[in-house]
Amino acid sequence: METLLLSCDRTEEGKCNTVLLYTELQRGVAKCLNWGLLKLLAQFVCNNDNPRLDFASCVPPLLSSLGPAHFPSLLSRLYSLLEFNAQPLPAAHARCTLLDAVFMSCMRECYQRSALVEFYTENKMADILNNLERDVEGEAEIVEQLLVTKLVTVRVMEGLLQVSKTDLAESLESRRKTVMKFIYNRILKSNLEFTQSDYCSYLNRQLHSAAYVVTCVWISNTGADVDLYTLLFKEDIKEEKFIFKHFLHLDKEYKFPIEFNEAPREKKLLTGIRRQGPVGTEQEQYQSIGSHINYFLNDVLLVLLRWNTTALPQPDTAQDLLCYLFGLVHHANDAIVKYNLELIRNLLSVWKPILDPTRLPHSAILSLVTSLNPDILYTGLKLSEILLVEQLPPYNATTERNYLKCIIELWKTKAKDSKGICAWLTRESKGNTSKIPSGGSKLNNVLAVVTGGLLISFSEGKLQDDHQIGEFVRRKFESMVKSGAQNLVSSLYFVSRLYPVILDNFLNDIISSYSKVSGKPKEYCLNMVECVYKRNNKKDMWNTLRQMGVMDILEHKQHELLPAVLNLFNSIKNQLDPTRFSVKDSLLPFLRSLRRHVDSVNPQIRTRVFELVFDVYSRWFLMREGEREEKESSLIIY
């Protein structure tokens, strides 16, 4: 069982077997506290990326079968898998998965059943403090493991902070306070960076995010003396409390310590978080990951993202914050731009239900995409891409004309030849934008992505193409007609996946190209013809296919296009009506061609053939008796 589970077969059959084994393992764990099964289940969670396999679903029955007396033992055994000295030590990412998917699920369920105190022994609290005090240094792999160890330690404190002060022994309360002060002073306010790897940087951000979470829990649940801020979502924006007053409604840029003249108490708190600049200057010592987006705000945003399933900010607050971030998204440092864009993408994704698309800062996007600076322009297009992916418009009624005009002008200047424009759009529709073609640029790449997203929105009716981007693309394809059928067909096919309307103007070119192309483009021609006929509800596709010579494919038992042709005929079988065609001249040759494939070794081909034959005969029997007698002799021949 262990070999099968941990192999994580990615085939469809393998996935099915893995799910069954996983389900049986869940049941086994839920029936009794079998440490071997539980350990195997935890390892499996770490090695599998199938979202259907949710460990949390087996936690309630597991705890119900155990009873409260066993909860501390369960948590201790799981915690032993997370410790830095575990043998063998799992990979850093596996420990993170184990922490989130397994340990935290069990710990939260135990908290709801009021059974956490016994897990936090004196020895465990000493180990927690020792882990927090570890120096983080060495090669990337070692640093990753040490950062995960600190992350585990901080997250583990969430459970202890849920316990009321009155329910803790005095010594345990003292240790809890010591640990939380360490987290607050040495992690929450730390400006250390770990650049050994991208994953180190990611873990460092997660560590700070976890530190903010436990600090919030500490303050709100225990009334500790670190009166930094109340729980974020309980703050009233109208009262201008700490977070909203100084970070969500920034109408000025604070610079420490010269221009900051708030009350001494608040000044002390803010300078403690943001760090004072060198004496005699206005420069902050640490501006963290964004242009004027200070370190504290970045981590608060990570906290907001982690809490999105628990609560969301007020719509006005979310809107104001996004406007602020849109204005600061660009930076001279590409890494910062990438981080800021990712932050905005995540915020849009989790806050979409409370956002008003008409109130997004479209003027900020327009100023970016109309910039003469190619780096700023690129940032604006990437921001447009993010909005389109989230099905949000990159422009409003005020900016629409200038925005769409700008997109067309960019095509004219950045990709002047028609072949180049169509090639970029083709690449984008294939989803193959990671590799930039020779002679191209990342700007053309993202421009194609944005144009593709606009074309999809136009074709789905989510946006109106009042400024003829679709017409612009159509004209470019018209100039490609003489460049060769193979190139035209392939490009048209992929772009039509974004914007099927474009095919209406090229139906004759597609039909005439069918006999001139070979391989996949022939299948593309069939798919595009079908798309045009279905979109426009045309009834004569049968005759068109005959004229194209598609019937000839049915004469070959091993033709590579046979499955595609049979699927195509099956999709238009309602047109195979004996009342509309001559049985002798049309249907009979078709049925005779199908007869060649009734014994095919391919079960899908046999299925399609029988479906088509059955459909034709069913329609024949539904004809009026007189008509059926006239044609009976012909069909009997088949």
**CB 364 within 8 Å of CB 323:** yes
Q: What is the mean pLDDT of residues 483-511?
A: 78
Q: What is the mean pLDDT of residues 373-390?
A: 91
Least confident of 254-268, 306-320, 379-393, 615-629: 254-268
Pairwise pLDDT comparison (364 vs 21), residue with the higher score: 364
Q: What is the mean pLDDT of residues 41-67?
A: 59
What is the rounded CA–CA span in Å between residue 591 and residue 554?
A: 10
pLDDT for position 380: 93
Please tell me what DSSP assigns to residue 360: S
Q: Which two tokens stand for residue 189?
A: 């306010």
Residue 607, pLDDT > 50, answer yes
Span 67-117, pLDDT tens digits? 777 777 778 877 887 887 766 777 787 788 778 777 887 787 776 666 677
Neighbours of 531 (CB within 10 A): 18
Q: Exposure pattern of 145-161 as b/e (b: 16+ CB <10 Å)? A: bbbbbbbbbbbbbbbbb
Q: Which two tokens stand for residue 598?
A: 């009734």
What is the rounded CA–CA span in Å between residue 81 and residue 85?
A: 9
Q: Mean pLDDT highest for which of 359-363, 445-449, 543-547?
A: 359-363
What are the boundaries of each domain within the chain? 1-119, 551-638
What is the rounded CA–CA span in Å between residue 479 and residue 116?
A: 72
What is the rounded CA–CA span in Å between residue 337 and residue 376?
A: 10
pTM for the full model? 0.49
What is the rounded CA–CA span in Å between residue 482 and residue 201?
A: 52
Residue 410, pLDDT > 60, answer yes
Span 142-171, pLDDT tens digits? 999 999 999 999 988 877 877 777 777 778
Q: What is the mean pLDDT of residues 331-346?
A: 82
pLDDT band at 627 (very low <50, low <70, confident <90, very high): low
pLDDT for position 247: 39
Distances (CA, A) of 239 to 132, 235, 243, 314: 37, 8, 11, 14
Percent of the chain with pLDDT over 70: 61
Pairwise pLDDT comparison (367 vs 519), residue with the higher score: 367
